[in-house]
Structure 1
Amino acid sequence: MNRLMLTLLALSTASSVYAQEKHLFILSGQSNMKRLDPEASFSPAVRKAFGEGGVIVVKDAEGGQSIRRWYKKWKDVKNYRGMKPDTSADPSTIGDLYDRLMKKVDAEITGKTIKTVTFVWMQGEADSGKHYVVYEKCLKGLVQQLEEDLKLGKVNVVIGRLSDAKMESAGWVEIRRIQQSLCEANPDWEWVNTDDVNGENNGVHYTRAGYVEFGKRLAEKAIRLVD
């Protein structure tokens, strides 16, 4: 076999292997993630960065939900820092949204080679009441839970920090601080500012244009982590 044929074969093999590798982006959280249309800005951006066939984007979100709907070890932290147990919580709802999300993820990645995983998280509003005292432990635990279940190595994390809609709430301010500080302490984590995407009324939810901009910002941070 001549040198040209060997070169072409090597290039073909490398191209085939590369085509099989996918960058997985898992989007989840509560209402501001649910209202985000990935196709409006997020997905086009990551496809442009990594190729049309080089990405998998999975989203599952539910409005108004506590992190306990994702983090399965909620019972282990409910007394952390003196927080009273949430006796109203149905045990069947602890981690149920995580299971729903992972069912979608598993369906998308079966039979595929995953090169990187990035978890994109927009949640915390529902925990800004009394549960903010355990939020940091739950969020770190959720990412660890995801890494252990996927068994694909380190997971990158992009967090949409709560906007400044309710700065009069101590819990709201604390969750903002937790989200930002965790990202600044971990090289594989990034946070996105949302203070200017919720319109003149400064509401909890964003404007239509705000969601498009939010998706762009999430994608920019995700691409940076993958690169």
Structure 2
Amino acid sequence: MHIIERIYHELYRAYGPQGWWPLLGYDGVQPTKSGSVAGYHPLRYDLPETRGQVFEICVGAILTQNTNWLNVEQALLRLHAAGGLDAERLCGLGDAALKEAIRPAGYYNQKARKLREFADFFLSLESRAPDREELLELWGVGRETADSMLLYAFHRPVFVVDAYTRRIFGGLGLVDEGADYDTIRLFIEEHLAADLPVYQEYHALLVEHAKRYYRKRANRPVCPLRRLMQG
């Protein structure tokens, strides 16, 4: 078994199913989540169930750029109250109302434009799922955001590489922490079967683990994954 797979099994054993991506309609709270309020749904890999939930996840993927989930959650709740978690109604919101709703997520001027452009695109999809290249052509949608949408909203097994992924795998010497996004993504995917639940859990588990051992460089030497590298 490759070390990439071994790390996954070790993290899953340590933390259990994470129930990502959070959805407003669910009350589950993961005990391993510090600060998160609700929305987690462990072992429900069939979610999202509705087109509205698909849109909600995509909106969350945009709003979470350069901020934390608690801020995003507040923005989503305010946007929902304003009717903006429906793509057509978001397009009809005035600029002031949209920006005020998403203010907690920060960068609200830029993110308002990103959401409008994505909502127009989402409506053009009708019932089909987009491909990665289409998403990357949208203004304000980078590779991490696109892959988050594909993995959690559209059920496509693509590995999401975020800052936590870089810190952990870089700290373990498996990748160059400053390597290109797709270089890291393809390296992981090469050694991991394209299984949707595994990809979703792995990304979430890396986030949880990084919050415990990789927020401060001084904590990295005590990362329990290091013993796997010696096996």
Q: Computing the radius of gyration over CA atoms, which structure comes out larger, 1 or 2?
A: 1
More strand by share: 1
| TM-score, normalised relative to structure 2 | 0.27
TM-score (norm 1): 0.28
| Larger helix fraction of residues | 2
